Amino acid sequence: MGAIPEATTVDPRPGSAPSPAPPRIGVLALQGSFALHAAALRRLGIEAVEVRRAAALAGLDGLIIPGGESSTMLKFLLEEDLFDPLLAFHRAGGALYGTCAGAILLARTVENPAQESLGVLDIEIQRNGYGRQLESHVGACSCSELGEPDLPLVMIRGPVISETGPRVEVLAEWRGQPAFVREGRVLATTFHPELTDDTRIHAYFVEIAAEAR
């Protein structure tokens, strides 16, 4: 992987008022690419909190649900009393960002096969929408919200967003389908920015979490 770009947040200009403390961000660390998300946040100057139990949500402004196996993470949410605390975190104003498996857990409806989900993002999503590992691929998608260059896109057994509700903004598309969406304080990508050196989506999420608090 190439050079790590300069951090794009927390940039107090000389002479301006000191910037406020950065928001507190957690990464759901039950399984999957949580350490890679924490590393991306570290490049932005943020030390993420690893969340394995509900008590760790206290005091956070935002939470990233990483890539991994959504069926595995869902079992933890249901059996270890994390499902309702995550919903409460959302209701209380916390920002959420899900990548791949994380997007599946945030969705209103999950298909292929159907499974339970938090339902805080008004999308319908198909698990393994492109197929198996041999259909995993890379690309780049344009995103006017985040500007040039295009966002690098790494899709690992990725899901496909097959429907979006009226309040959902589509920030980037891939192969004609939404790949990066936002509904208020909830973000989701079907791809994995944590597998690249581009931290713009993480920086965007940090801003949303800062506004949310």
Partner 1 sequence: MSTEFRLKTGLADMLKGGAIMDVTNAEQARIAEDAGAVSVMALERVPADIRRDGGVARMSSPEKIREIIESVSIPVMAKVRIGHFVEAQILQQMGVDFVDESEVLTPADEENHIDKHSFEVPFVCGCRNLGEALRRIGEGAALIRTKGEAGSGNIVEAVRHLRQIGNELRRLTILTDDELMSAAKELRAPYEIVRMVARDGRLPVPNFAAGGVATPADAALCMQLGAESVFVGSGIFKSTDPEQRAKAIVKAVTHYRDPAMLVEVSMGLGEPMRGLDIATMPEEELLQTRGN
Catalytic residues: 100, 192, 194
Least CB distance to partner 1 at residue 82 (A): 11
For partner 1, the closer CB: 90 or 127? 127
Choosing from 4, 58, 88, 138, the residue that interacts with partner 1 (CB under 8 A) is 138
| CA–CA distance, 55 with 49 (Å, rounded to integer) | 12
- Binding track, positions 53-72, relative to partner 1; x by CB under 8 A: --------------xxx-xx
Site string for partner 1, 157-186 (x = CB under 8 A): x-----------------------------
Instruction: Give the total of residues touching partner 1 (CB under 8 A).
Output: 36
| Contact residue for partner 1 among 22, 76, 173, 177 (CB under 8 A) | 76
Q: Which is nearer to partner 1, 36 or 187 (CB)?
A: 36
Q: Contacts with partner 1 in 27-56 (CB under 8 A)? A: 29-36, 52
Q: Does 19 bind partner 1 (CB under 8 A)?
A: no
- Taking the complex as a whole, the smallest distance from the CB of residue 155 to partner 1 amounts, in Å, to 9
Tell me if 1 contacts partner 1 by CB under 8 A: yes
CB of 85 to partner 1, least distance (A): 16
Contact status: 114 vs partner 1 (CB under 8 A): no
Rounded-to-integer distance, Cα 198 and Cα 148, Å: 12
Which residue in 14, 15, 59, 113 binds partner 1 (CB under 8 A)? 113
162-200 exposure pattern, b = at least 16 Cβ within 10 A, e = fewer: ebbeeebeebbebeebbbbbbbebbbbbbbbbbbbebbb
